Amino acid sequence: SGINAECPLRPGPTVAKPFEHLPSNVVPVNYVLRLHPDLEQNTFKGQESIEVNVKESVNVIKMNSAEIEVQSAKVVINNAEVVPSNIATDANTETLTLTFGQSLPEGKGNVVLEFTGILNDKLRGFYRSAYTDNSGEKRRIAVTQFESTDARRAFPCWDEPAYKATFDVTLVAPAKCVALSNMPVVKEEIQDDLRISTYDRTPIMSTYLVAFVVGEFDYVEGRDENNVLIRVYTPLGKKEQGDFALDVAIKTLPFYAKYFEIKFPLPKLDLIAIPDFAAGAMENWGLVTYRETALLVDPLNTSSNTKQWVALVVGHELAHMWFGNLVTMQWWTHLWLNEGFASWIEYLCVDHCFPDWKIWLQYINMDFKRALQLDALDTSHPIEVPVGHPEEVDEIFDAISYCKGNSVIRMLHNWLGAEPFRKGLAHYLNKHQYKNAVTEQLWASLEELSGKPVNKVMSTWTSKMGYPMLTVSITENANGVRLNVKQQKFSATGDSGSSFEWMVPVTVITQSNSTPQKFLLDKKEDSFVLEGCKAGDWVKINPEQIGLFRVQYDEELLKRILPAIKNQTISAADRLGIQEDLFALAKAGYSNTANLLTLMGAYVNEREYVVLSSINGNLAELSSLFSHLPCSSQFKAMRRRIFSRILGEVGWEKRESDKHTDSLLRNMLIGALGKSEDKEVAEKCSELFEQHLKGDKPIPADIRSSVYLTVRQSGSEEDYAKLLSIFEKTDLHEERDRVQRVLGNGPNADLRSKTLDFSMGDKVRSNDTPFVISSCAASGADGRVQTWSFVKKNYSTFLDRYAGGFMFQRLIQVTCADFTDMEKHKEIEEFFNQNKAPSAERAVKQSLESIRVRSAWLERDGESVAEWFNKNGF
């Protein structure tokens, strides 16, 4: 069922799908592969000769194949051709079985196949895409996305990560097109209007990392300090939009080569922007594919936020060239290691390239926060979860694999120390290069080079779902100050019924001793002497928010730390962490929301972007929770009170002294005040919007998304039409993205309905549809109901478009998870009992649990929150 039966914290069972690994009696060694895509007919022809090692005498060869028609098959072994007596494909198991009338002898052989397939529109396997160039001409593209189990849609193969082989690829494409694969071209010839490109043999690698792209592109290029040729491919006429990503890649590749102590293993690296793309990017070895907004940067129209996103995604994918591609997980159970590691080191890399971005501080409000949110649910899963069927594999590409994975690695890095950690990694990569590995082998390398019990400590974090809450108090007497710590599982529902214990690396600083003291909490509760701590000192557990746990201070300790928040004697990360923990405690029922609102009063002098962004996000969630009650307007008033003064200081125009995070802060403040119906901000946004439309003065890219949001918030049909006009005229994907992510906002139900219909039309790319729908669901209580009705009505279309991919999970979560009443819970549960949700069963369960959590929260704290507002003059 994809769940560890021994796990005491196991979520409700997902329905087990029957699954069998391919037999290991015949294994691939090399694929000689020729593919000829037809961009007009959306089909392709293929031929392959797979060198195999027959390990024992067999009369059946089984491999993976899906949506492919095999025209002919034979095996050449000992210079003799053997034709199968039967060629059978099975759509359910996605396999191709060749049965022979005689036994094939042990030894080397070649499986030779001719086949045809379709360039599908499902954004997986070998699929089609297109863009319109500056002259209005449509340019067609054929591109691949094979992770996790879709190489089998392009060519029959052993499509499991452990079956590594080499690949000799030839692509036949229109002569006017660029044709790319993992390796450089070694031979090229033109026949009629076709270019036949043969590529160098790849290193030994897994099928999910093979890639092909055929289409018309421009590129910029450069070489890194190790002389690796790096190119960034863009749509025609947009090559200058590749400069920023090229610069990041040129800095990043040598950084990793030095960090891992292994040179980049390939002679070239291509990064390419694909118009229709389901994920953010994909780490195909030597040919990394990206969603346009994750790679292209327009010097005039790209925001600082998007530039930061591009840098992180480039950093993430290039880390995979070593961690994932050179050493690959044995099976998808170990996916977290691949993704968790790359999601951690992307921050290390961006911090190296852009030290003034405060990226590690932002990390706490991004990946770390998402990990804690999702893993508090009873419907979460362990980081390392046994999976079998492809649909189960798709389900674990989530915040646990990525965000909890990287949080655990960050905690480990801190515990071991930067250099022992780096040396352990280099040891692991060198030892297992060109092979497959499991989590325990990484722990073994880190243990060997650090001398610490890595496996013993880390297995408590990877094999069980959830994380602890540490309840802390202090005892002060003549013998000094003792810290009392007790652990229990933190649960989003407030039910900590589990008896499971973690081995928790605990770090503490105090008012009189800023040197971190480290303890290992390896039982249910313990107490520790705080060196250099005086009676009456504030105490901060988990400085810099490194440890993956929540902290519940007793009333006395919380009271002591408030002045340190107010006068900012504790760091921004610690100010952020205290507020985030108390918000989570209130949401789960361990504390009261009124206590949280009182705590927020201590942030009156706060000016750090990340801390203010966290407060804004939490107030926005509360505002959404209470959206149908009178105190909804009081939450808006509170946001106005906190943020309008700060916007007055920061101003609307970029200043010469501005840092990167000041640009992010300005945009956040305008958006927060726009959503909170601040009249002055609404008027200013309207004025900027009109100047922008007339061409007098473009809205600066850094605040454009918030200005659009605020203008749309007013709800006028005229402004809606103007935004649509911007969407239709621009050829910059980021600008279209800005517009489509705000269209559903505002109180007008007719315009929301129009937006929902628009989301399904041909002007919106299918990979963007969920974001447009999300804007309608996020508009308020009425918008949620309207959006859910729309999704139900069009469910069969969504199923056809997205089933089996993570876009489907995203769609379910944005439309279902934010309801607050149990009637809707019942309706959603009944709907999914009657309608299947392939690869999204877990997303359905998590959405239902989220509704239960929100409903209980509202019922528990509704009255006390109303009282708090009245008492505090809102």
Q: Report, as residue numbers or ranges, the catalytic residues.
A: 317
User: Comparing C-alpha atoms, which of 375, 322, 369, 365 is closest to residue 345?
Assistant: 322
Q: At a CB cut-off of 8 Å and minimum separation 6, what does 191 contact?
A: none
The answer to whether the CB of 440 falls within 8 A of the CB of 428 is no
Strands 107-118 and 68-77: antiparallel
CA pair distance 413, 824, nearest whole angstrom: 43
The answer to whether the CB of 332 falls within 8 A of the CB of 441 is no
Q: Where are the alpha helices (DSSP H) in 175-242?
A: none
Tokens of 445: 């390398």
Secondary structure letter of residue 176 according to DSSP: T
Scan for tokens 């060109």, then name that residue. Answer: 434
CA pair distance 282, 209, nearest whole angstrom: 9
- Whether the bond between 148 and the residue before it is cis, its omega within 30 degrees of 0, is yes
Tokens of 573: 């990360």
Q: Which helix (H) or strand (E) element contains residue 327? A: strand 327-329
Look at phi and psi of residue 651 and say left if phi exceeds 0, alpha if psi is from -120 to 50, else beta.
left
The answer to whether the CB of 170 falls within 8 A of the CB of 196 is yes
User: Comparing C-alpha atoms, which of 801, 794, 792, 793 is closest to residue 765?
Assistant: 801
CA pair distance 81, 88, nearest whole angstrom: 19
Return the sign of the alpha-carbon dihedral for residues 548, 554, 560, 563.
positive
Residue 735 to residues 280, 298, 708, 720, Cα–Cα distance (Å): 17, 10, 11, 15
Complete DSSP assignment for 38-70: ETTTTEEEEEEEEEEEE-S-EEEEEEE--SEEE
Sheet containing strand 138-145, strands side by side: 125-132, 138-145, 212-215, 178-181
Return the sign of the alpha-carbon dihedral for residues 609, 613, 615, 619.
positive
Secondary structure letter of residue 861 according to DSSP: H
The answer to whether the CB of 639 falls within 8 A of the CB of 623 is yes
Q: Residue 431 class from Cβ within 10 Å (0-12 exposed, 13-18 middle, 19+ buried)?
A: middle
User: Comparing C-alpha atoms, which of 491, 497, 485, 521 is closest to residue 585?
Assistant: 491
Q: What's at 8, amino acid-wise?
A: P
